[in-house]
Amino acid sequence: MPFFNGTVPPHFTHTESEVIGVPTRPDTANAVIDNDLGKYNLFPFDVFKYAFKTTTVRNAALTAPYMHNGVYSDLEQVMDFYNRGGGAGIGIALDNQTLPPDPLNLSKEEQKAIIAFIHSLTDTTHTLYIGGKLNQQ
Q: Tell me which residues touch ligand HEM (CB under 6 A).
A: 18, 20, 22, 52, 54-55, 57, 60, 63, 66-68, 75, 78-79, 82, 98-99, 114
Minimum distance from residue 137 beta carbon to ligand HEM (Å): 21
Rank residues 65 and 135 by Cβ distance to ligand HEM and give the closer one. 65
Minimum distance from residue 97 beta carbon to ligand HEM (Å): 9
* Closest residue by Cα to residue 32 from 87, 97, 73: 87
Rank residues 67 and 91 by Cβ distance to ligand HEM and give the closer one. 67
Minimum distance from residue 44 beta carbon to ligand HEM (Å): 19
Q: Which residue is nearest to ligand HEM (CB)?
A: 68
| Cα distance between residue 7 and residue 91, in whole Å | 29
Quote the radius of gyration of the chain (alpha carbons, Å).
Answer: 16
| Cα distance between residue 127 and residue 56, in whole Å | 14
DSSP string, 81-114: HHHTTGGGGGT---TT--S--S-----HHHHHHH
